[in-house]
Structure 1
Amino acid sequence: MTIQMAKYPVVHVWRSPQAPREIDRPVCMDPPDLAAWLHKMKTEDRKGLGGRLDTQLLLGEPVRVLQEEDGWFQVVVPDQPTHLDERGYPGWVPSTHLIDHPDYSRAWTKGPLVHVTATTSRLCRADGSILFLSYMTRLPRVGEQDGDVWVLTPDGKTGLLPAADVITASQLPVTDPATRIDDAQRFLGLPYLWAGMSSFGFDCSGFMYRLFQAGGIRIPRDAHDQFHSGRPIPAKKLAAGDLVFFAHEQGTGVIHHVGMMVDHTRFIHSPRSGFPVRINRLTEEPYHGECCGGARYEKP
């Protein structure tokens, strides 16, 4: 197995090389056009991503390549824990969307890393090009200029990020629930995206994953695993910052949704295709009937 890095601001991890549809062509091209894809898709197109698209990578995020087949890499994502594969989240990525540059690999391993904490940030590259980066993109720091930060990109080139948009750290500090909640509320109104792991569109568990990552805590990628990996909290004892889960069959079946408590009655979440990030009350249906408890994460 070899290690490669995501080459673009958002790289899609598909269920199989045959999973993308014609409408998904913009994000399978080299380079991908995320903005065109998001603009083109209607609500039904977004719903159709289920069973096709499984997760996303951010610029510079590492994967392990298992094999290559007809221009696609089969990969696992080590930083996205899952019960599906102990090595990391599995899937398929166009081979042109990954890159292995020795300078970047050394810098990534050595650190420190620059973490994008703004909802999005503008990376001005030394070659004059511009990339728009998602919240929680991580890149090696290589210097500073007039207070802004030079970073290394996976192709071995450098770029400048605004200092106000980032934190430099080997490991982000663990934040309190109030900070995570404030962070979450910056995304109110952002449209839902199945398998979304970026601030250009989150799914429910991807939203929680990135919020906790920003708070110095790594949790699993999917809601089912997030429920079983944290400290169990009964529904009646949920507090601000806890994850709250919802299951089919009036809360007794398969877990299908997750949000984060804002206080003891309200939670913030990315609901489903056609609906943006918003705050609801646990007393509302279908949430009241489907609530199956919560999980608390307090340590990295």
Structure 2
Amino acid sequence: MPAPDLSVSATSAVRVAATVLWTGPDAPREIDAPIVAAVPDPRGWAAGLDVPARRDLADRVLTQLLAGEPVVVLEERGDWLRVVAPWQPSDLDPRGYPGWVPRAHVAQAAVPARTEAVVTVEAVRLEPDPGSRGDGLPSELTYATILPVLAETGTRVRVALPGGGSGWIDARACVVRPTGDGKHVEAGAVFTEARRFVGLPYLWGGMSAFGLDCSGLVHIAFRALGRIVPRDAHDQAEAAGRVPVGEARPGDLYFFARPEKSIHHVGFAAGPGSDGVLLHAPRTGEQVREEQMNADRRATLVDLAGRLAD
């Protein structure tokens, strides 16, 4: 699948550090108040969910969206918007991943610039410009957030934010690159990005450094390097070039499916050939880890691996 242009124009974009794309306005529970607040707390929300509460997300949460991520508004309903997210390709809608977000989390998209900053750490503090203070801006930005660059000082980078705000982040916490850079993405580099999340708890629909699911781990590792790939495992398999499992290299993808069923899991090949070492986000209650495949994984391993990197 060709990589979409990250400079894609959109009239609206996410204005908070991270938000959730829900199945509907009635999907959030009382425990989800921190993530649906006007200024959400994605870190606190994830930390406050125990295993049963995380399991209960499966029919509620679709994915997450990060600051600056474009959205196309399809419908308005009270405090909620039905949108599609173009940076997360999906077979559910050719325009992008569909779902519902709080209206307060969306604003006018920032004007694209010649360069963009990509956050490369778990989280970085955002220091709002004086004129932006009190405008509900996030206090931090998370890994793989992509925002237009307004200025650089050598130690800090000034970024534009949806809604007309702007702020400064530490230059050591980001990479500045040409907007929409279509550079080649090497499998080894993608694998290195994904590996940094070993130990992070699994979170259904997670797409940030505060929690990831299996396909979220794949998507965010590619996005940080400038390539947009589909959001869900079965779509990632459809978009990938296919190679025999025995020819998989670190950074290629292993897919898993039961007989006559759709693909239900994805992870990175972590060793050469078919040695069965897997880097993945296993399931709720577990953490991202690198491990030898167990018997169930081997039994459900699809016989062709996926290659999304160059």
What is the TM-score when the length of structure 1 is the normalising length?
Answer: 0.91
Shift of 1:6: 0.5
| Paired position in structure 2 for 1:131 | 139
> Residues of 2 paired with 1:184 and 1:146: CA distance?
28
Write the distance in 2 (CA, Å) between the matches of 1:22 and 1:158. Answer: 32
Mapped partners of 2:226, 2:104: distance in 1: 31
Read off the aligned partner of 2:216 and give its amino acid letter: G
Give the distance between the partners of 2:211 and 2:218, measured in 1 at CA: 12
Mapping for residues 36-75 of structure 1, pairs under 5 Å: 36-75=44-83
Query: 1:291 and 1:64 mapped to 2: Cα distance?
Result: 36
Are the aligned partners of 1:66 and 1:75 in contact in 2 as well (CA < 8 Å)?
Answer: yes
Separation in structure 1 between the aligned mates of residue 163 and residue 101 of structure 2, nearest angstrom: 17
Q: 2:219 aligns with which of 209, 212, 236?
A: 209
Q: 1:175 aligns with which of 185, 192, 197?
A: 185
Aligned 8 A contact 2:155 2:172 in 1: no
Q: Which residue of 1 aligns with 2:35?
A: 27
Deviation at 1:146, TM superposition (A): 4.3
- Look up the equivalent residue of 2:155 and give its one-letter code: G
Q: 1:196 aligns with which of 193, 196, 206?
A: 206
Residue 258 (structure 1) aligns with: 266
Q: How many residues align?
A: 290
Aligned partner of 1:126: which letter?
D
Aligned match of 2:163:
155
8 Å CA contact retained: 1:47, 1:273: yes
Whether 1:277 aligns to 2:297 is: no
Checking the alignment, whether the CA contact within 8 Å between 2:58 and 2:204 is kept in structure 1 is yes
Q: Go from structure 1 to structure 2 and tell me whether the alpha carbon gap of 1:243 and 1:49 turns closer, same or farther (over 3 Å shift).
A: same
**Structure 1 residue 123: Cα displacement:** 1.7
Match of 1:236 in 2: 246
Q: Corresponding residue for 1:296? A: 307
Consecutive unaligned residues in structure 2, runs of 5 or more: 1-9
Matched, 1:114 2:117: yes
Aligned residues of 1:172 and 1:215 also touching (Cα < 8 A): no
Deviation at 1:148, TM superposition (A): 1.6
Contact 1:172 1:214 (C-alpha < 8 Å) held by counterparts: no
Q: Which has the higher contact order (CA 8 A, sep 6+)?
A: 2
Deviations 1:194-217 (A, max 9, x none): 001111111110110011122332
Task: Specify which of 8, 16, 24 is matched with residue 8 of structure 1.
Answer: 16
Residue 18 of structure 1 is matched in structure 2 by 26
Q: What is the aligned-residue RMSD (CA, Å)?
A: 1.8
Selected match of 2:90 from 50, 65, 82: 82
1:216 counterpart SS class: coil
What does residue 225 of structure 1 align with? 235
- Residue 286 of structure 1: SS of its match in structure 2? helix
> Scaled by the length of structure 2, what TM-score is found?
0.88
| CA deviation after TM superposition for structure 1 residue 147, in Å | 2.7
State the match for 1:245 in structure 2: 255
- Runs of 4+ displaced beyond 3 Å: 127-130
The question of whether the paired residues in 2 share the 8 Å contact of 1:217 and 1:297 is answered with: no
Return 134-143 or 92-101, whichever deviates more: 92-101
- Write the distance in 1 (CA, Å) between the matches of 2:159 and 2:298: 46
- Determine helix, strand or coil for the equivalent of 1:248: coil
The answer to whether the 8 A contact 2:251-2:309 is kept is no
Distance 2:165 2:159 in 1: 8
